[in-house]
Amino acid sequence: MAKNSQLEESIMKAAEELFLQNGFDATSTTDIAKSAGCTQALVHYYYRTKENLFQQIFTQKFQLLISHIHEKNNQVNDLELALRNFVDSYFDTLSKNRQIPFFLIKELIMNEERRQRMRMRMITDAGSLQYYTDWDKLIKSEIAKGNIRPIDTMDLTIDVVSLVVFTFISLPLYSDLFEQNEEEIRAYLQRRKEEVITLILKGLRK
Amino acid sequence: MAKNSQLEESIMKAAEELFLQNGFDATSTTDIAKSAGCTQALVHYYYRTKENLFQQIFTQKFQLLISHIHEKNNQVNDLELALRNFVDSYFDTLSKNRQIPFFLIKELIMNEERRQRMRMRMITDAGSLQYYTDWDKLIKSEIAKGNIRPIDTMDLTIDVVSLVVFTFISLPLYSDLFEQNEEEIRAYLQRRKEEVITLILKGLRK
DNA sequence: GTCTATATAGTGATAGAC
DNA sequence: GTCTATCACTATATAGAC
């Protein structure tokens, strides 16, 4: 892994596209080599194993989602604003990375070892824990004030994640079923974003 | 495909378990044979191709979900009752078939041909279309009466499906992350069911 | 109907020439 | 650094003996 060659980089780029599109199992190092314009041996020369190459990509995509949460951990004093910001920015991020939710979930579900690694990372990540603690306090305070109905913080979190993430997981099926072109898909995602915000906010009222 | 042998049946049963657990790609006919207690050649003797064997299982699981919708297409005159019944019975069905949502979505997303076949089936299935038409009428009527906020029928449908289905897609991650045993998982699913109903009903108010 | 054996094609990874 | 060649597997599917 020296300074040499944009080849190393173009292998990584080809691998990223293929892994995101087809997953770990359905992508061969031969496919990656062909797409990067080199021989299969070179893929292994630069990254030794397919698993190693995949891991770098997986970790990077996982971090993309996590870091995004941390960034938006600013205005945590107004629940409605916090929810609006979170859903809004998450929809925008995922709209530019539509395959990521299914990619991460599939590879986590289908590989026990990856699941354990992710678990360790989340447990030892002080940032995420702090975020959840603040979030939990805010919810409990709003309930105590009588501004929203009683609800467990985890339940609310899963509600939001379900509505956001499933939109992108089901998108290939939706756009295929209704033969949506790119413009229509964008309009659909915009509409979904607003509906999700509305449902959550109205659904929290007493 | 004659009357003979419970072997044919036990091959099918082994295939069902393995396909649901690991998916099409990660299941070999050798795995199926070993699990069924016969040689690999016999799997092909009875079902000729792996794809053919898989297709029967896929179609069966797909139908299980569709037929379930049709059955519950009875009391379509009270929206709140209809929603309660739908979510309640869907949660119960999926609780007994937890891998099905991820299984169907994964195999549909990762195989263009299967997606097209499903599309054709849904378009030509008069039952499903009728169900959606009735459902659409009910929503529009409730909006006109001022009982609920204005909402597109497709949006409401996707809201409900997202909340129900994502619960089961993410279940392996959730139970792993929080080290839930079977009893805790059951309690979790019960709680999620009630939360989903609450969120939808409250979220529909004006 | 059930077996063994095999044809054919693919995989990830490495050795060694240049 | 890049290539060709190859090893050691594994896969689906079928042919042919019994």
pLDDT in tens, A180-193: 999 999 999 999 99
CATH topology for the A55-204 domain: Tetracycline Repressor; domain 2 (1.10.357)
| Cα distance between residue B109 and residue B25, in whole Å | 13
Nearest nucleotide, CA B3 to C1': C1
- The pair of structure tokens assigned to A31 is 């496919």
Range B23-29, long-range pairs (CB < 8 A, 24+ positions): B23/A110, B23/B103, B23/B106, B23/B107, B24/B50, B24/B54, B24/B107, B24/B111, B25/A25, B25/A26, B25/B110, B26/A25, B26/A110
What per-residue confidence (pLDDT) applies to A68?
78
Residue spans of the domains in chain A: they are 1-48, 55-204
B155 to chain A, any CB pair closer than 8 A? The answer is yes
User: Which residues 11-70 of A have a C-beta within 8 angstroms of B?
Assistant: 22-23, 25-26
In this complex, do B177 and A119 lie within 8 Å of one another by their Cβ atoms? yes
In this complex, do A109 and B172 lie within 8 Å of one another by their Cβ atoms? yes
Q: What is the pLDDT of residues A108-136, one digit of tens each?
A: 999 999 999 999 999 998 888 888 999 99
Same CATH fold, B55-204 and B1-48? no
Q: How far is A5 from chain B (nearest CA, A)?
A: 33
A163 to chain B, any CB pair closer than 8 A? The answer is yes
Average pLDDT over all residues of chain B? 94
- The pair of structure tokens assigned to B46 is 């009875």
| Cα distance between residue B148 and residue A39, in whole Å | 61
Q: What is the pLDDT of residues A86-109, one digit of tens each?
A: 999 999 999 999 999 999 999 999
Domain spanning A1-48, CATH class: mainly alpha
Q: What is the SS3 assignment for A78?
A: coil
Q: Which of A109, A172, A203 sits opposite B109 (nearest CB)?
A: A172
CA-nearest of A65, A84, A68 to A76 is A84
| Cα distance between residue A47 and residue A64, in whole Å | 22
Q: What is the pLDDT of residues B105-154, one digit of tens each?
A: 999 999 999 999 999 999 998 888 888 999 999 999 999 999 999 999 99
